[in-house]
Amino acid sequence: MSPCIFFFSSGQRTTKNVSCQPRRNDKFVCPLEKRLTYHEEDWYIGACNRAEAEHALHLVNKDGAFLVRDCSNNTTSEPLVLAVYHDKKVYNVKIRFIESISKYALGTGQRANDMFDSVADIIRFHSIFPIVLIHGRTLSASKYPGNCVLTCPVTKIDVDQLLG
């Protein structure tokens, strides 16, 4: 483990001890380079219904496995869903776009959320800092949220192979 300084496009900066083992989708990008849109990211799988995404993540069966899919509502304000596998459950977290400030945020917006310049910034942030996962189907479970770091991106090719 060694200390690393992380900079986010939102202006946040933090130092955290990490083991520096790059994953296959890690990219070191010069700030002047054109940023990828989420459509070009490995973890974005596009149109996929909830049942298929959940089934694929259950087959991966690894805490921290995740993918981003198009939201079935397909609205400007809620364009995407982050699906995360943790503790033998799949959590579907809406990714909201707040048009008035051109920022992305996770969840329903009922609690104060971090705001991000891009979906990729959300993924990068939560690959370092845990995402709070609340199981929305049972009230008692929501009192004990899970915390999970995004560690294992699941790609469109992975989903096609798993479900094919």
- Residue pLDDT, tens place only, 52-91: 999 999 999 999 999 999 998 878 889 999 999 999 999 9
Domains assigned to the chain: 40-163 (3.30.505.10)
Question: What's the pTM value of the predicted model, to 2 decimals?
Answer: 0.74
Task: Tell me how far apart the alpha carbons of residues 2 and 15 are, in angstroms, rounded to a whole number.
Answer: 10
- pLDDT for 112 equals 58
CB 104 within 8 A of CB 118: yes
Q: CA nearest 54: which of 93, 89, 95?
A: 89
Q: Is the dihedral of CA 3, 122, 64, 130 positive or negative?
A: positive
Q: What is the mean pLDDT of the chain?
A: 78
Other C-beta atoms lying within 10 Å of the C-beta of residue 10:
14
Helix (H) or strand (E) holding 8: none
Neighbours of 94 (CB within 10 A): 17
pLDDT digits (tens, 9 = 90+) for 23-47: 444 444 434 333 457 888 999 999 9
